[in-house]
């Protein structure tokens, strides 16, 4: 009862304040509150055609990564991929997602599975900037790659082929805030 009373009081108070606020010329008083509710817009919305492309921009421009981009959006982690980072991202192609058991992707894209999806995607990102030479050096020195989820993944070099957590790297793209390695397999937890 007490809670109910104080809640409605606050509501009344707000109502009272609103009614005190005369709309400005050519502007309704609700436009201001709408502006507030859309914030923060976040770094992903910054328009910048001068800097080199960041990880998210590169991924968005790649047709072979539309599933990954959809998953990043569903998990609402796009701002991570435009952050100063730096990050090394192992980016599974659409076919990598298709290779998962039937229904897996659809299930992960459901709103109630957002946390699980975010966790799976985050396992594909390593803090730091590791180009292909740096990854080879990790293997040579016997260092495992520390991923953003806290997992350690093994880097394996076989001739010219490099794989991380069992996923073979088929291409490498430098970006303004890190490195993208294209992989053809989703890296799942052991």
Partner 1 sequence: MKTILKGSQLWLMGLAIMVMSCGQSNNQNTGALGSNIAERVYVAPGEHDEFYAFVSGGFSGQLAVHGLPSGRLFRVIPVFSQDPEKAFGYNEETKPMLNTSFGFVPWDDAHHPDLSQTNGEIDGRWCFINANNTPRIARISLSTFETEEIIELPNSAGNHSSSFVTENTEYIVAGTRFSVPVPQQDISINEYKGKFKGAMSFIKVDPNTGRFNLEFQIMMPGFDYDLAHPGRGKSHGWMFFSTYNTEEANTLLEVNASQNDKDFIAAINWKKAEELIANGDFETMNVEYAHNVYDEATHSATSTIKNEVKVIDPSKYPGLVYLLPTPKSPHGCDVDPTGEYIVGSGKLSASLTAHSFTKMLAAIENQKFDGDVYNIPIINYDDVVGGVVQQAGLGPLHTEFDGKGFGYTTFFISSEVVKWKVGTWEVVDRQPTYYSVGHLMIPGGNSRKPFGKYVLAMNKITKDRYLPTGPELCQSAQLYDISGEKMELLLDFPTIGEPHYAAGCPADLIKPNQKKIFRLEDNLHPYAAKSEKEARVERDGNEVHIYMTTIRSHFAPDNIEGVKVGDKVYFHVTNLEQDYDVPHGISMIGANTSELLIMPGQTETFVWKPKRVGVWPFYCTDFCSALHQEMQGYVRVSDKDADVPLSWSLDGE
How far is it, in rounded angstroms, from Cα 134 to Cα 150?
20
- Interface positions, 74-103, toward partner 1 (CB under 8 A): 83-86
Smallest separation (angstroms) from partner 1 to the CB of 187: 21
Of the residues 24, 76, 116, 140, which one makes contact with partner 1 according to CB under 8 A: 24
The 3-state DSSP class for residue 164 equals strand
Smallest separation (angstroms) from partner 1 to the CB of 45: 10
* SS3 labels along 40-97: CCCHHHCCCCCCCCCHHHHHHCCHHHHHHHHHHHHCCCHHHHHCCCCEEEEEECHHHH
The 3-state DSSP class for residue 171 equals strand
Of the residues 3, 21, 106, 160, which one makes contact with partner 1 according to CB under 8 A: 21
Q: Say if CB 125 and CB 89 are below 8 A apart.
A: yes
The answer to the question of residue 7 lying near partner 1 (CB under 8 A) is no
Which residue shows structure tokens 């350690």? Answer: 152
Phi and psi for 96 in degrees, rounded to 5?
-65, -40
Of the residues 7, 48, 95, 110, which one makes contact with partner 1 according to CB under 8 A: 48
- Tell me the per-residue interface mask from 126 to 165 with partner 1, x by CB under 8 A, - otherwise: -xxx-------x----------------------------
Of the residues 3, 4, 26, 50, which one makes contact with partner 1 according to CB under 8 A: 50
Identity of the residue, 94 or 176, whose beta carbon is nearer to partner 1 in the bound complex:
176
Q: Say if CB 106 and CB 99 are below 8 A apart.
A: no
Q: List contacts with partner 1 (CB under 8 A).
A: 2, 5, 9, 12-13, 15-17, 19-22, 24, 32, 35-36, 39-41, 46, 48, 50-52, 54, 83-86, 127-129, 137, 176-178
């Amino acid at each position: 009862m007490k809670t109910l009373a104080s809640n409605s009081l606050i509501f009344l108070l707000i109502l009272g304040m609103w009614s005190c606020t005369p709309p400005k010329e050519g502007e309704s008083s609700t436009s201001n509150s709408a502006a507030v509710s859309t914030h923060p817009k976040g770094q992903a919305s910054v328009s910048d055609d001068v800097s080199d492309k960041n990880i998210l921009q590169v991924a968005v421009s790649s047709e072979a990564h539309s599933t990954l981009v959809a998953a990043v959006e569903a998990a609402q982690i796009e701002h991570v991929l435009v952050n100063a980072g730096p990050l090394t991202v192992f980016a599974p192609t659409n076919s990598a997602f298709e290779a998962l058991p039937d229904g897996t992707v659809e299930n992960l894209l459901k709103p109630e599975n957002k946390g699980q999806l975010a966790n799976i995607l985050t396992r594909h990102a390593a803090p730091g900037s590791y180009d292909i030479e740096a990854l080879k050096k990790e293997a040579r020195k016997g260092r495992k790659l520390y991923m953003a989820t806290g997992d350690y993944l093994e880097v394996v070099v076989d001739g010219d082929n490099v794989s991380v957590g069992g996923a073979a790297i088929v291409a490498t793209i430098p970006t303004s805030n890190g490195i993208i390695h294209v992989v053809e397999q989703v890296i799942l937890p052991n």
